[in-house]
């Protein structure tokens, strides 16, 4: 596959990303594509919706792709025999039939390439002030649990989503590790709980993420690497952070396949750089004493190109 530049060229790595598109701002594919491209991946995007902006603004307009239209786009790729992918990436979805179609496509792509890695962010809801609530229709939970997660290789739920998928509440780190084991048993070999309300050893100004990588060795024995990452809380509500996180985790686990610690350190450090730059810039735009609005809090993606490409490690992970 490598051309004239032989050794210097990495083999082409192609990602099919099925996510939302916004004209203005950074969520879904707009949050995932740029970082992946900067990190050397070919990204083929299917836009599950096309909206003017994310729905946290006062107004939004746009179109939604249905499952038949998704299938039609995939058929076009198949007819041209360009349906070979190394990765599939999915995030926020509101429709069960669309999600079921994604599963069909992933299964077919895994027949084309048995090494295909499916990175799934099972976006269903979150906790506010300790209370969890779903912001997608309830009937998506069984589809994620019974159909999607079993074909996924890497999943990035938050604590609430991990609890929903396993039917088990997390109160302690030990609970979280057991929940991650339950999630491994459902299929994925890499599980990252992207945020939790667990008490951080570094104190209340930190947010805990946990990761677990289970590998089965040739002799059938299993090794599990587990890590904890504590990152400084940033005092603002951002949109698109989960999408950016999943995309960068895809890239860094690809570059460090057997080192979840380093992959997470690079992912979380890059996140910190982007969020710090975003909040600083948003505060300047809003002006002294004013709370930044949705438009001002859009991720400073392009401005963070160097941090995404080569993140200075400012957050360390602890091996558990």
Please report where in the chains the tokens 């299993």 appear, as a residue: 222
C-beta of residue 292 within 8 angstroms of C-beta of residue 236: yes
**Torsion angle, CA of 22/27/32/33, rounded to 10 degrees?**
20
C-beta of residue 88 within 8 angstroms of C-beta of residue 99: no
What are the distances in angstroms from CA 94 to CA 53, 147, 178, 230? 17, 15, 28, 31
C-beta of residue 165 within 8 angstroms of C-beta of residue 137: no
- List 196's β-bridge partners, or say none: 208
Helix (H) / strand (E) containing 318:
strand 317-319
Q: Is the dihedral of CA 149, 153, 158, 159 positive or negative?
A: positive
Q: Give the Cα-Cα-Cα angle 22, 24, 25 (nearest 5 degrees).
A: 85
Instruction: Look up 205 and say whether it is catalytic.
Output: no
Tokens describing residue 219? 């002799």
Instruction: Find the catalytic residue in 86, 95, 121, 243.
Output: 243
Q: What is the DSSP letter of 303?
A: G
Residue 239 CB-density burial (10 A; 0-12 exposed, 13-18 middle, 19+ buried): buried
Q: Is 232 helix (H, G, I), strand (E, B) or coil?
A: strand
User: Catalytic site residues?
Assistant: 243
């Amino acid at each position: 596959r490598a051309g004239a530049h032989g050794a210097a060229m990495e083999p082409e790595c192609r990602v099919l990303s099925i996510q939302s598109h916004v004209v203005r701002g950074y969520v879904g594919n707009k949050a995932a594509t740029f970082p992946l491209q900067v990190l050397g991946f070919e990204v083929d995007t299917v836009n599950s919706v096309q909206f003017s902006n994310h729905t946290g603004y006062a107004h939004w307009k746009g179109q939604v792709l249905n499952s038949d239209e998704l299938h039609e786009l995939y058929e076009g790729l198949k007819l041209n025999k360009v349906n070979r992918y190394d990765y599939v990436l999915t995030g926020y979805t509101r429709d069960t039939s669309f999600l079921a179609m994604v599963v069909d496509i992933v299964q077919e792509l895994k027949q084309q390439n048995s090494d295909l890695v499916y990175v799934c962010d099972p976006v269903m809801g979150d906790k506010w002030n300790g209370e969890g609530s779903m912001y997608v229709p309830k009937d998506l939970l069984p589809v994620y649990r019974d159909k999607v997660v079993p074909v996924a290789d890497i999943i990035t739920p938050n604590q609430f989503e991990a609890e929903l998928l396993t039917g088990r509440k997390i109160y302690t780190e030990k609970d979280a590790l057991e929940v991650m084991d339950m999630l491994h048993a459902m299929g994925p070999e890499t599980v990252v709980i992207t945020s939790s309300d667990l008490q951080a050893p570094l104190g209340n100004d930190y947010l805990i993420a946990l990761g677990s990588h289970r590998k089965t060795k040739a002799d059938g024995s299993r090794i599990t690497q587990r890590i904890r990452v504590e990152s400084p809380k940033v005092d603002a509500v951002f949109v698109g952070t989960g999408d950016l996180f999943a995309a960068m985790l895809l890239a860094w686990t690809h570059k460090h396949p057997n080192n979840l610690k380093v992959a997470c350190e690079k992912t979380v450090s890059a996140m910190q750089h982007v969020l710090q730059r975003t909040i600083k810039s948003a505060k300047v735009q809003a002006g002294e004493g004013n709370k930044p609005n949705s438009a001002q809090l859009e991720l400073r993606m392009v401005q963070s190109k160097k941090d995404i490409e080569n993140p200075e490690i400012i957050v360390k992970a602890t091996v558990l």
